[in-house]
Amino acid sequence: MSSSSSSVPNNLDAFWMPFTANRQFKSNPRMLVSAKGMHYTNAEGGKVLDGTAGLWCCNAGHSDPRVVEAVSNQISEMDYAPAFQMGHPKVFELAARVSAMLPNGLDHVFFTNSGSESVDTALKIALAYHRARGEGTRTRFIGRERGYHGVGFGGITVGGIVANRKTFGPLLAGADHLSHTHLPEKNAYTRGLPEYGTELADELEKLVTLHDASNIAAVIVEPVAGSTGVIMPPKGYLERLRKICDKHGILLIFDEVITGFGRLGASFATEYFDVKPDLITMAKGLTGGTIPMGGVVCTKDIYDTFMTGPDNMIELFHGYTYSGHPVAAAAGLAALDCYQEDSLFERANDLAGYWEDALHSLKGCPHVTDLRNLGLIGAIELEPIPGKPTARAFDAFLKCYEKGVLIRTTGDIIALSPPLIIEKEHIDQIFDTIRSVLSELD
């Protein structure tokens, strides 16, 4: 028997939920059934304030009528068009609009369906680029500890999450990792970018000395690491990485899956930090989370390197059935309209100070060991319960949900990333709720 979308289904067993404690969830489900603006509604009819933009993706809030209309119009006009050897207008328009948001020279967009696919695509482009230039020995990748680059084999190889390395075997050959830049003993309670840790970028020089630059294809980092607990780049760190990459002909990839589309109060982190990578991966905010879509932007130099040889030959042997899907492209164009018409990136920038003050007002609350923020990102690090890592933060998550606020936790860190349409009263509600929950935790 089918159930209506607003009630809890009779059988929760069949669906194997991603990144979820399945048995725990299914014993006490948290079912969201509708969403509008800053709020979800759950199956019990309760309103839940979205402190996480879904999963860092609903930057324009939920179910904006402009996106809803664009998606419904597109699906009635044309549901799908083949992605290979055929085109449709909206995907070209979207690529032009995305590249117009980026610094000059980052001109070409390859569409995917997710952040994970974007990362694997960027790594493949980097390998193929070097090979096309006659430097096919450049095959090694350098990621960073505590980096998250999605769940494909490329992404988990360059990522620095121990659970992946423990669970999924040897991964791809030829990857090294820079140290992460989380230095709470020196940088705790920093507002904005931390002072200490810039020199950790110099580890790249050591890896070049070890392997020789002629073997290294690319370095990939998140300008601000999100999924492993919100780790900011120390002041000058990204600039230093850029310099070392330039010196050795190594491509620099910024994984902007969470920092893209206004999260820092600028279009992308590349604009915010004024550091230009060779490739940018994106997803999430590209369609405001409405329809799955990702993309990789590369420089004109990279693109032009491929555009040689007989013109009837496919230049890059790569693509997805749904690359640039028409409905996703329509959603992307409408999401960009929302960002632009409502000046949401400027809004994020304007609210960042209020957000920072509200977050740092939690200093001194029980269990709090660090508070970090940038743009509309916030992190609250908690002292773990001895012998029970993650339990305290997860309890905070459950208690906040019961009080009508959706937060996200990773390890014992609460990570916040609200839709950019957030109002000051919502910011107050998020931090007041967390404050009261912190005082109730074991």
Nearer to ligand PLP by C-beta: 115 or 233?
A: 115
For ligand PLP, the binding residues in 237-256 under the rule CB under 6 A are 255
Nearer to ligand PLP by C-beta: 42 or 227?
A: 227
Which of 66, 72, 106, 422 minimizes the C-alpha distance to 260?
106
**CA separation (Å) from 326 to 78, 82, 118?**
7, 10, 18
- 154 Cβ contact partners less than 8 Å away, ≥ 6 residues apart: 119, 120, 123, 124, 141, 172
For ligand PLP, the binding residues in 268-287 under the rule CB under 6 A are 283
- 243 Cβ contact partners less than 8 Å away, ≥ 6 residues apart: none
For ligand PLP, the binding residues in 60-119 under the rule CB under 6 A are 114-116, 119
- 15 Cβ contact partners less than 8 Å away, ≥ 6 residues apart: none
Instruction: Work out how close the CB of 135 gets to ligand PLP at its nearest, in angstroms, rounded to a whole number.
Output: 26
Nearer to ligand PLP by C-beta: 283 or 296?
A: 283
- The residue with its CB nearest to ligand PLP is 115
Nearer to ligand PLP by C-beta: 119 or 175?
A: 119
Instruction: Work out how close the CB of 255 gets to ligand PLP at its nearest, in angstroms, rounded to a whole number.
Output: 4
Distance CA 322, CA 112 (A): 7
Nearer to ligand PLP by C-beta: 54 or 358?
A: 54
Nearer to ligand PLP by C-beta: 410 or 429?
A: 410
Gap between the terminal Cα atoms of the chain: 42
Structure tokens at 107: 């001109």
Which of 16, 106, 98 minimizes the C-alpha distance to 298?
106
Instruction: Work out how close the CB of 225 gets to ligand PLP at its nearest, in angstroms, rounded to a whole number.
Output: 7
CB 113, CB 320: distance < 8 Å: yes
For ligand PLP, the binding residues in 111-150 under the rule CB under 6 A are 114-116, 119, 148-150
Distance CA 49, CA 88 (A): 37
Number of residues that bind ligand PLP (CB under 6 A): 14
Nearer to ligand PLP by C-beta: 256 or 358?
A: 256
Instruction: Work out how close the CB of 352 gets to ligand PLP at its nearest, in angstroms, rounded to a whole number.
Output: 20
Nearer to ligand PLP by C-beta: 178 or 208?
A: 178
Nearer to ligand PLP by C-beta: 226 or 295?
A: 226
Instruction: Work out how close the CB of 270 gets to ligand PLP at its nearest, in angstroms, rounded to a whole number.
Output: 14
Instruction: Write the binding mask 147 to 186 for ligand PLP: x where contact by CB under 6 A, - elsewhere.
Output: -xxx------------------------------------
Instruction: Work out how close the CB of 84 gets to ligand PLP at its nearest, in angstroms, rounded to a whole number.
Output: 22
Q: Give the bridge partners for 253, in sequence order.
A: 220, 279
CB 417, CB 352: distance < 8 Å: no
Instruction: Work out how close the CB of 364 gets to ligand PLP at its nearest, in angstroms, rounded to a whole number.
Output: 30
Residue 302: CA atoms inside 13 Å, Cβ hemisphere, count? 31
Instruction: Work out how close the CB of 329 gets to ligand PLP at its nearest, in angstroms, rounded to a whole number.
Output: 17
Instruction: Work out how close the CB of 153 gets to ligand PLP at its nearest, in angstroms, rounded to a whole number.
Output: 13
Q: Is 138 left (phi over 0), alpha (psi -120 to 50) or beta?
A: beta
For ligand PLP, the binding residues in 283-312 under the rule CB under 6 A are 283
What's the CA dihedral at 350, 352, 354, 355 to 10 degrees?
150
Residue 295: phi, psi to the nearest 5?
A: -165, 160
- Tell whether the torsion through CA atoms of 228, 234, 235 and 236 is positive or negative: negative
Say whether 295 sits in a helix, a strand or coil: strand
* Residue 222 touching ligand PLP (CB under 6 A): yes
How many CB atoms sit inside 10 A of residue 271's CB? Answer: 17
Q: Which residue type, as a one-letter code, is found at position 121? A: T
Query: Which one of 127, 257, 348, 407 is in contact with ligand PLP (CB under 6 A)?
Result: 257
Q: Which stretch binds ligand PLP (CB under 6 A): 31-39, 222-230, 242-250, 372-380?
A: 222-230
The single residue listed with the structure tokens 């009261």 is 436
Instruction: Work out how close the CB of 320 gets to ligand PLP at its nearest, in angstroms, rounded to a whole number.
Output: 12
Instruction: Work out how close the CB of 268 gets to ligand PLP at its nearest, in angstroms, rounded to a whole number.
Output: 13
Nearer to ligand PLP by C-beta: 208 or 328?
A: 328
Which of 50, 102, 105 minimizes the C-alpha distance to 267?
102
Nearer to ligand PLP by C-beta: 119 or 382?
A: 119
Rg, Å, the chain Cα set: 22
Interface ranges with ligand PLP (CB under 6 A)? 114-116, 119, 148-150, 222, 226-227, 255, 257-258, 283
